[in-house]
Amino acid sequence: MNVKQSKLLIVLLSTITSLTVLSACTLMTEQSNKEFPLPLNLKAVYWGADVQFPVRGLVIEDDLNVLMVGKESKFLVNRDTVEVEKITKLGIGDYRLLVEVLDTKSDTFYIECIENNTGVTRHDLSLITSDNIDMLNQDSIRWIEADEITKRLK
Amino acid sequence: MKPIAAVTPGHSPYHANYNNPVMFTDPLGLCPECPRDKRYYDARDNFMDYEPTSYVSSNLNRNSWVHSIGRNSRVYERYQMWSDARTLGLDEYAQKYGETYTNMNAYWRYYQEEQIANGVQVKRPQLIILGHASRGYFPLERTYVGPDSPQPDVGIDSNYDAVYQYLFGDGSPQAIGPNTTRALMNTETFRGVHNDILRGRRDLTGEFRVDMTDIVSHIGRTLVGWSADPSNQTITYSLYLRDGFWDPDFIDERVLGEGLGIPMFQADGMGPNLERLGGTPYEYIPTVITVPMTLRLFKH
């Protein structure tokens, strides 16, 4: 048995062991724990090193896994383009979602996700940005720290 | 025999008008529809290897976003800028206009809102339903693969390839093979997003995640970016963005590291703590694929 064959054998044995462990653990932990459901068919998902490197962290996706808000996504706030560094807080309402975001300049701004019923575009959602939380409707909003969600998802 | 038969693959070089004189005209006797039809070329004027018979009529192409809004100078100007972005490249484009794609997405929405506010009825993008795509799957062999992409006949295309490269490779970035790419492009997620873009339900650019764990396990969860170009009627997808084969034993990392929280198994980025097998992690070279907007996928 040469070196290449022995290496391959080690990999195969290791993989079989891992699969056994994975099967056992899958029974104990449900897949739904990897997604945190949000209103409007949105969900919070943790993008670890298996998705991308450098790690993107906690992101907001829609039902087709399209990135709505997350690290490196960009928005216009007061006609300036700002880049998201980190999601810090989520405000959950019945039919809308508020996201508190830290940008790359460490400034805080807010994104409100609501259903798009204007008929202007075919987008399912309207994303409204503001750097002032008072400009957004906070009625019946329940705030959750993003770190808490991240702990549940990781 | 046609002088440029090479650009009509799948057809006999002795045919005329694809044997369909009702639908196609060929006044010069060279190649029906081809030389004067922009649809068969991408933004860089590279030929797109599509079977021309999959397009019913060139007139249908006029029912596009560009056509519906093209008479408005402001938005046309925007699309012209977007077209420049494709031609010039992002850096030159940013220097010329001082803008980013993000602004383009936002302006696209602002423009429509403004039009509504001014009482102007905005025409919605028209959908084009055509040809062999009705099978509901991406025929990858007929998809143009951009010059920056790997050739379709090379690349990592199985778990064996992936592990072998990890063990005996030098860590250089590797291209992903066509079978894997075909599988990715036929996932429900990919087809759903593609159809949404065609319906005008998405921005011109964006990213989404595809979970390939149950299909091609060494890819796992990976990222796909898109940029739609309405003026050229194309959508460019970049697959496997900043992804790579960090470790063959990523299952340990997920279960023992992330799941059970054992520190030595937790990922620390590229090449995590599990390199005990002596391999070398490597990145995937992103695969860039441009498809025409006329390729609609069903079953979603």
Instruction: Name every chain B residue with its beta carbon within 8 A of the beta carbon of A65.
Output: 189, 208-211
| Average pLDDT rounded to a whole number, residues B236-243 | 84
Q: How far is the alpha carbon of A139 from chain B, nearest alpha carbon, in Å?
A: 26
Q: How crowded is residue B259: how many other Cβ atoms within 10 Å of its Cβ?
A: 19
> pLDDT tens digit string along B160-184?
778 777 777 777 777 787 778 878 8
Instruction: Name every chain B residue with its beta carbon within 8 A of the beta carbon of A53.
Output: 242-244, 246, 269-270
- Residue of B100, B164, B242 with shortest CB distance to A81: B100
B27 touches chain A (CB under 8 A): no
Full DSSP string of B144-164 = EE-TTSPPTT-SB-SHHHHHH
> pLDDT tens digit string along B108-133?
445 555 555 666 554 433 222 222 23
- Residue of B193, B255, B277 with shortest CB distance to A10: B277
Mutate to test the interface with A, among B202, B238, B276, B297 (most CBs of A within 10 A): B202
Instruction: Name every chain A residue with its beta carbon within 8 A of the beta carbon of B211.
Output: 65
Tokens of B289: 């694929």
**A125 vs B132, residue with greater confidence:** A125
Strand A108-115 relative to strand B244-245, pairing: unpaired
Decide if B258 and A48 are in contact by the 8 Å CB cutoff: yes
- Give the pLDDT confidence score for residue A59 in this predicted structure: 94
Decide if B106 and A64 are in contact by the 8 Å CB cutoff: no
Provide the chain A residues 62-101 that lie in CB contact (below 8 A) with chain B. Answer: 64-67, 73-76, 81
Decide if B251 and A47 are in contact by the 8 Å CB cutoff: no
Instruction: Name every chain B residue with its beta carbon within 8 A of the beta carbon of A124.
Output: 201
| CA B125 to chain centroid | 20
**B135 vs B123, residue with greater confidence:** B123
Decide if B200 and A122 are in contact by the 8 Å CB cutoff: yes
- Give the pLDDT confidence score for residue B63 in this predicted structure: 31
- Give the pLDDT confidence score for residue A90 in this predicted structure: 93
Q: How far apart are CA B127 and CA B254, in angstroms?
A: 42
> pLDDT tens digit string along B59-102?
223 333 333 333 333 444 545 555 555 455 555 655 665 544 44
Per-residue burial over B184-203, b = 16 or more CB atoms within 10 Å of its CB, e = otherwise: bbebebbbbbbbbbbebbbb
Instruction: Name every chain A residue with its beta carbon within 8 A of the beta carbon of B193.
Output: 64, 66
pTM value > 0.80: no
Q: How confident is the model at residue A12 (pLDDT cuts 50, 70, 90)?
A: low
> pLDDT tens digit string along A18-53?
555 445 444 444 444 588 999 999 999 998 877 887
Which of A62, A67, A58, A28 is CA-nearest to residue A149? A58
Bridge partners (DSSP) listed for residue A66? B208
- Give the pLDDT confidence score for residue B131 in this predicted structure: 26
Mutate to test the interface with B, among A18, A55, A61 (most CBs of B within 10 A): A18
> pLDDT tens digit string along B258-292?
778 777 666 655 544 344 456 677 788 788 777 77
Decide if B256 and A21 are in contact by the 8 Å CB cutoff: yes
Q: How far apart are CA B64 and CA B124, in angstroms?
A: 9
B102 touches chain A (CB under 8 A): yes
Q: How far apart are CA B39 and CA A60, in angstroms?
A: 35
Q: How far is the alpha carbon of B152 from chain A, nearest alpha carbon, in Å?
A: 23
Residue of A nearest to B278 (CA): A7
Q: How confident is the model at residue A145 (pLDDT cuts 50, 70, 90)?
A: very high
Q: What angle do CA B27, B28, B33 make, to 5 degrees?
A: 70
Instruction: Name every chain B residue with its beta carbon within 8 A of the beta carbon of A31.
Output: none
A123 touches chain B (CB under 8 A): yes
Provide the chain B residues 193-212 that lie in CB contact (below 8 A) with chain A. Answer: 193, 196, 199-203, 206-211
Decide if B189 and A65 are in contact by the 8 Å CB cutoff: yes
Q: How crowded is residue B237: how many other Cβ atoms within 10 Å of its Cβ?
A: 27
Q: How far is the alpha carbon of B276 from chain A, nearest alpha carbon, in Å?
A: 10
Q: How far apart are CA B296 and CA B200, in angstroms?
A: 13
